Amino acid sequence: MALDPVPPPAASRLVDVDVDFDALDLAWLQAKPGAKWHRHGPDRLAAWVADMDFPTPPPVVAALHRFVDTGDLGYPDWLGRASPLRGLFAERMAARFGWSPAPQDVRELCDIVHGLQWILHLATPVDSLLALHVPAYPPFLDTSSAMSRPILPIPAERAASGWAFDHDRFAADLAAAGGRCRALLLCNPQNPTGHVFTAAELERLAALAEEHDLLVISDEIHADLVYPPATHVPIAALDPAIAARTVTLTSATKAFNIAGVRCAVAHLGSEAVRQAWEAQPQHLFGVVSPLGVEATRAAWEDGGDWLDALVVHLDRNRRLLGSLLAAPLPEVDYVPPEATYLAWLDLRALRLADPPHSVLRDSGVVLSPGPDFGPQGEGFVRLNFATSAAVLEALVARLTSAVARAPRRTEATRA
């Protein structure tokens, strides 16, 4: 937990944005009908699924009201042609990350997993291996299993500086696979560890992709939620060779808290993937809703100040979480994430007799179970800190109380 002290509360908002991310009413949260707060009942504090607790960004709300108020929810004029998002995506990548993808190579999707599944279907054979940094986002693991693309794991390792991945080991595993691995699914920033891959790490991965002829599928949905001094580098921005074998998937849904609009984009850098995509029937991939496109457009065009303020608040919360855990629970290993609003907590040193997520749920705190992220998640939980400081403090207080009361394993039990 090597971070600077928690800054004063004023840092959780910016003066040019009329929003206070700490102004959350618990009764309002517990009355929300969405999955995060509704599924497990109103008596629990919810910090599991990756929705933020904050209201929808005002520019998005205003844009959706204007759109509905026109009285036209019919077919959009762009149907069957390029939506406005293709050019906006290209402009955003150039402005934020110095990458200039071709707008004509962008396609709309309902969400990231939708895109991943179609790309795997079009570009990889059944029973081929899919390289993936683990622990991993549960729908990626579910996709691997359901589509018979077994995982070639790249395991996270706890280093002195935080989470790291052994790409030398990955190189050896690729060689041993004898050509069975056909794709690398890169989640950057990584979920659940919050690791931001450096340019050097990406260059190594790009070299391995070239050497072993791997398609790179890069999920970059958390790219807008990176904390200084870390910086996001799209892997396709490294050079034309890696760009030509990469499909980049992203969406406004995570950074702007609009997952329900079901809208994402894919940049098809691979010509082979583009050809396979265009060979399919026109509506096979579905058609994104005009409301999803409008919400995304408003977020990307008008939500910059709101996003800047959000990142300041989340940065403060990731530091606050470390401070809240440090004294009562020094055994909990918490590496403050370099990106995302998700904390990957290692509770193994507590030696709880029952799985940590069940111990906490029984005490009124709902976190994501570590095993959902694969075998490496045993003894872990994932905590969503995209909430107010007050709710975060209440979460940790309940967590601390639950751990204090929970039975521990004895050596005999462990044997």
Asked if 261 and 291 count as a contact pair (C-beta separation under 8 A), the reply is: yes
| Residue partners of 324: CB distance under 8 A and separation at least 6 | 392, 393, 396
What pLDDT sits at residue 12? Answer: 36
Report the half-sphere exposure of 184 (CA within 13 A, side-chain side): 28
Q: Which two tokens stand for residue 178?
A: 């004898």
What pLDDT sits at residue 18? Answer: 73
**Residues of the chain under the 50 pLDDT cut:** 1-2, 4-16, 414-415
Helix (H, G, I), strand (E, B) or coil at 363: coil
What pLDDT sits at residue 368? Answer: 98
What is the CB neighbour count within 10 angstroms for residue 252?
Answer: 30
Domains of the chain: 9-57+304-405 (3.90.1150.10), 66-302 (3.40.640.10)
What pLDDT sits at residue 340? Answer: 98
What are the φ and ψ backbone dihedral angles of 221, each rounded to 5 degrees? -65, -25
What pLDDT sits at residue 42? Answer: 82
What pLDDT sits at residue 17? Answer: 61
59: cis peptide before it, omega within 30°? no
Phi-psi category of residue 371: left, alpha or beta, with phi > 0 → left and psi -120 to 50 → alpha: alpha
- DSSP H helices, 108-198, are 112-123, 138-146, 167-176
What is the CB neighbour count within 10 angstroms for residue 276?
Answer: 16
| Rounded Cα–Cα distance for residues 239 and 243 (Å) | 6
